[in-house]
Amino acid sequence: MTQSQIGLIGLGTMGAMLALNISEKGFPIAVWNRTVAVTHGFKAEAGALADKITPCETLADLVAAIAPPRAIILMVPAGQAVDDMIATLRPLMAADDLIIDAGNALFHDTDRRSAEAAKIGPHFMGIGVSGGEEGARHGPAIMGGGSRSDWDRVAPVLNAIAAKYKGEPCADYMGPAGAGHFVKAVHNGIEYADMQMIAEVYGVMRDGLGMDAAAIAETFKAWNQGPLQSYLIEISAEVAAATDTHSGKPMLDMILDRAGQKGTGRWTVIEAQHLAATIPAIEAAVMARNLSSRLEERLAGEAVFGAAPQAGANVTLAQLEQAMIAGKILCYAQGFALISAASKAFNWPMPLPEIARVWREGCIIRSSMLNDMATALTEDAGRNLMLAPFFADHLKATHGALRQVIAAGALSGLPMPALASGLAWFDMMRTGRSTANMIQAQRDFFGAHGFERVDGVADKHGPWSGHGI
């Protein structure tokens, strides 16, 4: 029997789709799932691809089915399940074999597992995979982390299965250890913010302008033909246009407004705080998801204070589109700045232009803007994206509309936390003389923390009568 070139553990939705993608690209693959019937059923339903799939009933069989040096992809839930699987595989595999965690792992866990693997083997790397079920099957964006030699070993497979942008694979090496999973977490954080901003402008259209779902769908569809062209705007048009098969009403009107999450956005926000990186649009998006789950409290609040006015918001669809353009640029600028901060803090030489290129196709945040972002980051990777001439010009042209939309929302009681946070960040980023001097004076007054002076005088404290209270 011909040995497989790679193995995969975990035939849930994502794992099964990824295995089919690998086999379709011509790579024989051995697969294992803890439920044996699922393993055999997967091959039975693989159709023309079945001859490249070897179903294995035990992990020992899986290891034996793969040509050495072996590479096995883990598609199991993040956390303890990954550690348990590594512990089970370790005595079965050779020291130069490779385990690849392709799930949504916390990058600190990937760092730890990489360090352990360096001591006792087998090799280990973590890769971020984005694109959902469709991406896994037909081409995801792939962000690799680990040793460069391990990436190079499996790059032929990963490049082959990745999404393509004008023929270029949307897969690349991000850096050592947990770098790939860190980039994937930031991707997800940007995804949270992008989705939240779309939801906010949807709310203005629905509640502030009184538009029905069909009109909202047409608006998103039109926006998808311009600067906002992206996967998320495209699917927003589709979901707004959909009709519920049970009630005959717009599908959106039948969906409970309680958003779920799997934690990657929260990880991004927590790490940004550790790195002192400013990502307020992403923080606001995570907050909004958390608050959406508190349905009973929100209903109680509405009962006490009344609902926001229905219709009558003083804003146009053109202004909403411009506000979304500004918000999107600011959100991505914050995300890339966070990656840059991590690169410096962890000594990961992460390639910002290549990250933008990897995100151009296959992933959830794919957008026409990303090609221009890759160009801007190639010109100067150390410059904040909002300061790049191309995006600075866009912001100059659109931030006025962003102000109008946020002001109209505030006057009408329409919440826009992500857009408003993005605007506040923009205004702070373009303020040469901020108000932090007041904070420094307060800190010195109550804690004698000292401050710097604008005139360079050596006196670090103020003449406070209540100093040190």
C-beta of residue 174 within 8 angstroms of C-beta of residue 142: no
Please tell me the distance from the alpha carbon of residue 79 to that of residue 66, in angstroms, as a whole number: 26
HSE (side-chain half, CA atoms, 13 Å) at 463:
0
Contact 352, 379 (CB under 8 A): no
396 is catalytic: no
Angle formed by the axes of helices 317-346 and 369-379, nearest 10°: 40
184 is catalytic: yes
139 touches 170 (CB < 8 A): yes
Exactly one of 184, 200, 283, 328 is catalytic; which is it?
Answer: 184
CA angle 357/79/23 to nearest 5° reads 55
How deeply is 271 buried, as exposed, middle or buried, from its count of CB atoms within 10 A (0-12, 13-18, 19+)?
buried
Phi, psi at 406, each rounded to 5°: -65, -40
ω into 309 cis (within 30 of 0): no
Choice among 116, 119, 133, 191 that is catalytic: 191
For residue 280, cis peptide bond before it (omega within 30 degrees of 0): no
Residue 92 phi/psi, 5-degree rounding, is -90, -15
**Which active-site residues does the annotation give?**
184, 191
